[in-house]
Structure formats: structure tokens, C-alpha cells
């Protein structure tokens, strides 16, 4: 919100100049339109920008719904992700090899993360018996208290690695994730390879469309 206010501030209190020298209406209208568009960009999500680390050779093909997938022959190995969870336990994602792993990057401070959390909790429970394991990656929460409260409030049934500085996110293959895009989701196939990605908040339908083809793979 502070960023948006700073963008709009010149309109609210900018000088008009001396009496009789108001800004021409045409220029003023253009300025309002530009500032409104800029503010909308700031407020559109919790982050901005493209995928960090360059384009990379990820093989992602994005569908109309915003979910990007990779053909099996082009998939890269996922990163080594381990460390302390939000609730203080130790977790190594490689222990889930043989399962489909859904990695959701989130922060308690992020409104879209709060909006999608019930969807992730629901689908995690629905797909557990199908060999799907959800794991959160909590980022930019500088203490565990807010993250723990988030998990309790949304009845999250799976663990989340605690990654306040975003170091774990940077371990993904080049071009996979952007630390500025929160929430975001990456799915690893049963061999631990990057198979799908979304850089936006997800609905229940989005998650099923992402997971169903991978569940069907043998």
C-alpha cells in the first residue's frame, strides 16, 4: 500500500504552479491514467517482475489457465530442499521421492496466499491417498510466530520449510521461480523432477488440473 500511495502522492499534493497557470487538462488526464496504471501494477499481487535468473532451459509450456508444464523427456531434477520447518522440525524433501511433491511458496503477510490457503489444504487432503505430498516454503516472515498462526488459522495439514531470506527458492533450476512472485507453486514428479509451475494464486480446480496428469503417469 505504501508503494501505491507514493505513486499517487504527486496527484494529491503536487504543485499547481502560480495562479492562472494550472496544468493543461489533456496533460493532466494523461498523467492520471499513467499513475493509475502504475498503482494497479503495484497492487496486483505480492510481487512483480519476470522469472529470475534468466530464461533458462526449463521447457515450460504455459496453458490458458496460467499453469506451465514440462514434458517428461525435458524435465530437470528438482533442487535439494531441506532445513527447519515453521514448527521447528527438520525436513528433507528428498524423503518424499516416489511421490508427487507440491511445493507452495507463501508468506503470512501476502493476501493472495491467505486466499489460496484453504484450496491447498483441501486438495492436499484429497490427493494424499494418490501419492501426493504437499510442502510449503514460507518466505519473508522474519519470525515464525506469524507463519505458525497462518498454518493454524487455515488448518494446513502439511509441513512448511522456514525460508525467511528466500535462499531455498534460489536453488530451483534457472528460470523456474522468481522470489518476487509470491505465491508460487512448483510440482515435482515421482522422480523428483520439475514437472509444473504456477506463478499465481491457485483455485481447487487449478490444482486438480495441474496434478491429475501427473497422478495418471506411471
Q: What is the CATH number of the domain that holds 116?
A: 3.40.30.10
pLDDT band of 27, cuts 50, 70, 90: low
**pLDDT surpasses 60 at 156:** yes
User: Which CA distances in Å does 16 have to 13, 39, 80, 89?
Assistant: 9, 22, 57, 59
Q: What average pLDDT does this structure show over 129-155?
A: 98
Same domain, 79 and 163: yes
Same domain, 143 and 212: yes
d(CA 145, CA 148): 5
Lowest mean pLDDT, pick from 39-48, 129-138, 149-158, 182-191: 39-48
Q: Chain-wide mean pLDDT for the chain?
A: 82
Q: What average pLDDT does this structure show over 175-181?
A: 90
* pLDDT tens digits, one per residue of 69-98: 999 999 999 999 999 999 999 999 999 999
Say which residue, 154 or 9, is predicted with more confidence. 154
Q: What's the domain range around 195?
A: 61-216
The verdict on residue 49 lying in a domain is no
Q: What is the pLDDT of residue 211?
A: 98
Cβ atoms within 10 Å of 95's Cβ, excluding its own? 10
**pLDDT surpasses 70 at 20:** no
Same domain, 65 and 160: yes
**pLDDT surpasses 70 at 116:** yes
Joined together, the cell numbers standing for residue 180 give 518476487
Q: What is the pLDDT of residue 177?
A: 92
Same domain, 96 and 181: yes
Cβ atoms within 10 Å of 139's Cβ, excluding its own? 26
Amino acid at each position: 500500500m505504501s508503494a501505491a500511495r507514493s505513486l499517487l502522492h504527486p496527484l494529491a499534493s503536487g504543485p499547481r504552479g502560480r495562479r492562472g497557470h494550472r496544468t493543461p487538462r489533456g496533460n493532466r488526464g494523461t498523467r492520471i491514467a499513467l499513475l493509475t496504471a502504475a498503482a494497479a501494477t503495484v497492487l496486483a499481487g505480492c510481487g512483480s517482475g519476470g522469472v529470475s535468473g534468466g530464461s533458462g532451459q526449463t521447457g515450460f509450456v504455459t496453458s490458458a489457465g496460467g499453469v506451465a508444464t514440462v514434458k517428461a523427456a525435458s524435465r530437470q531434477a528438482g533442487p535439494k530442499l531441506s532445513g527447519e520447518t515453521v514448527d521447528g522440525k527438520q525436513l528433507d524433501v528428498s524423503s518424499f521421492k516416489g511421490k508427487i511433491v507440491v511445493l507452495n511458496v507463501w508468506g503470512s503477510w501476502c493476501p493472495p496466499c491467505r486466499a489460496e490457503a484453504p484450496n491447498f489444504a483441501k486438495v492436499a487432503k484429497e490427493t494424499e491417498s494418490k501419492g501426493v505430498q504437499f510442502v510449503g516454503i514460507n518466505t519473508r516472515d522474519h519470525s515464525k510466530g506469524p507463519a505458525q498462526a497462518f498454518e493454524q488459522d487455515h488448518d494446513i495439514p502439511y509441513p512448511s520449510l522456514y525460508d525467511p531470506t528466500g535462499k531455498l527458492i534460489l536453488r530451483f533450476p534457472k528460470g523456474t521461480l522468481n522470489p518476487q512472485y509470491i505465491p508460487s507453486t512448483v510440482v515435482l514428479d515421482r522422480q523428483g523432477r520439475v514437472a509444473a509451475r504456477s506463478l499465481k494464486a491457485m483455485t481447487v480446480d487449478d490444482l486438480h488440473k495441474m496434478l491429475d496428469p501427473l497422478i495418471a503417469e506411471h
